[in-house]
Amino acid sequence: MKKCVLMAMFMACAIGLTACGSISDKVTQKSDTIEVGESFDLNSFFEVDEGIFISLKDTSIDMSAIGSHSIDLIISDGKKEEEKTFTINVVDTQAPVINTRDIAIYIGSEFNTEEFATASDNSGENISVTVRSNDVDISTSGRYSITYAATDSSGNSSEKVAIVEVMSLDSPEDVMDIVDQYLTEEGLSDFKYNKNQFDAVFVTSPRMSKVVIDEGRNVTMYPEIYINNDIFAMSSDYPIGKFGVVGVCLRFEFSDRTDPQSDRHGLGADKITISSDSNSFTNIFSGIPEIGEFEKAEYLSRFTYTLKYDELKQLEAMLNEGSVVLTVDACDTEYDIKTLDYIKHPYSFVYELNESDIELFKKTMATYNYLVDFLGRYN
């Protein structure tokens, strides 16, 4: 009988000890290392038994400093709470990331290698970029390379090579490389560029709003920067092979024409007036283009007007006013084989730029001004 009583007392004490034992033993630390800059997640570092809950005593845990950090956990089973301190080691094993790109420059231009590379690091520290090697010769066209290097305070190092193309700007391909670089830097992904068979380069912006002329026919305008190369130039100021910016072309494209191809006339324009609340200018188109077989398809669907330097300066001031209207006096033309003369079928339309059109025009003008800076104006 006494043995049974003693056994019962022993079991009761054991149960009591278990109930009164530490609940912090039911929390296991799975990892004690974290990469600097990474977010701290309790579930990634601790494993708990069923029915146990953990939280941070101090929620402002900063893992941006390399070294050992003490972390106080509040451990609960729903009835009681305990605190326990753990250690987390913050380390830096990642090399800095060097941000650079391939570069296009033209012969004789100023070239500062430091402008084309920066570095970032997971530690958040300021990282300097150095030039490990540089074989760029800005006096000779060709492809060269620059090797950039960076090292953080933990001794992690990285390198990255940037290709530098030095161009003579005597070919459309060279000009397009420069244009492509500028459009990429400015985030103008909607702008396109191309060259035609006459060694000219066009930088084309997206189309503007559509205007309805009459039933079955609409017109859409888009500005494009026209860059030309005069292969017959002989002066020392404008040597053979040098490209220059002609101006900004206003290209009017007609669409949705329902009349058959055989019944269509060529397109022409007599006059364009550009006006704002306080300014305006008008230009008379010189003549009507002769429509030969080669040119026929072009004049059936579009015509262009090129704004020259003085007009562009006026247009820039107008765009800042926020109200710009283009009035175009145009015509369909047909050639009378009997009289050897053109028969004109005149009409007009108004192109009032909305806010998005004006913003697009401003981007086109900024691109034009940039290209003029290093290509010059073509006169």
- Burial class of 201 by CB neighbour count within 10 A (0 to 12, 13 to 18, 19+): buried
pLDDT tier, 290 (very low <50, low <70, confident <90, very high otherwise): very low
pLDDT one-digit tens code per residue, 145-174 = 999 999 998 999 999 999 998 888 778 888
Lowest mean pLDDT among 172-176, 266-270, 305-309: 266-270
Gap between the Cα atoms of 203 and 206, Å rounded: 10
Residue reference for tokens 């092979």: 241
- Which residue, chain included where needed, has tokens 């005593």? 57
Residues 6 or more apart in contact with residue 15 via CB below 8 angstroms:
none
Residue with tokens 């029915």: 51
Determine phi and psi for 192, rounding to 5 degrees.
-120, 160
- Band of pLDDT at residue 256, cut at 50, 70 and 90: low
Residues paired with residue 273 on neighbouring β-strands, in sequence order? 282, 327
pLDDT attached to residue 9: 42
d(CA 327, CA 351): 6
pTM more than 0.75: no
Q: What is the pLDDT of residues 194-232, one digit of tens each?
A: 887 667 899 999 988 888 877 667 788 889 999 888 655
Per-residue pLDDT tens for 46-70?
Answer: 988 988 898 888 766 777 788 888 8
pLDDT at 40 over 70: yes
| C-alpha 45 chain-centroid distance | 40
User: Could you tell me which residue, 152 or 347, shows the higher pLDDT?
Assistant: 152
Give the DSSP letter of residue 26. G
The strands making up 130-134's β-sheet, listed across from edge to edge, are 103-106, 157-167, 142-151, 130-134
Listed residue (156, 158, 154, 155) closest to 67, CA to CA? 154
Q: What is the mean pLDDT of residues 340-354?
A: 80
Instruction: Report the alpha-carbon distance of residue 74 to residue 89 in Å, rounded.
Output: 20
**Confidence bin at 191 (pLDDT 50/70/90):** very high
- Bridge partners of 146, per DSSP, are 134, 162
Angle at Cα 293 formed by Cα 289 and Cα 299, nearest 5°?
Answer: 40
pLDDT recorded at residue 265: 55
- Structure-model confidence comparison of residues 348 and 15, the more confident one: 348
pLDDT of residue 367: 93
pLDDT at 240 over 70: no
Please state, as a whole number, how many other Cβ atoms lie within 10 Å of the Cβ of residue 349.
Answer: 18
pLDDT for 211 equals 82
Inter-CA distances, 27 with 19, 70, 71, 77, 322, Å: 16, 16, 14, 11, 67
- Select the highest-mean-pLDDT range: 108-122, 129-143, 316-330: 129-143
| Surface-to-core class of residue 278, CB atoms within 10 Å of its CB (0-12 exposed, 13-18 middle, 19+ buried) | exposed
Domains of the chain with bracketed CATH: 26-91 (2.60.40.10), 97-167 (2.60.40.10), 172-375 (no CATH)
The fraction of the chain above a pLDDT of 90, given in percent, is 19
Identify the CA nearest to 330 among candidates 302, 309, 310, 353.
302
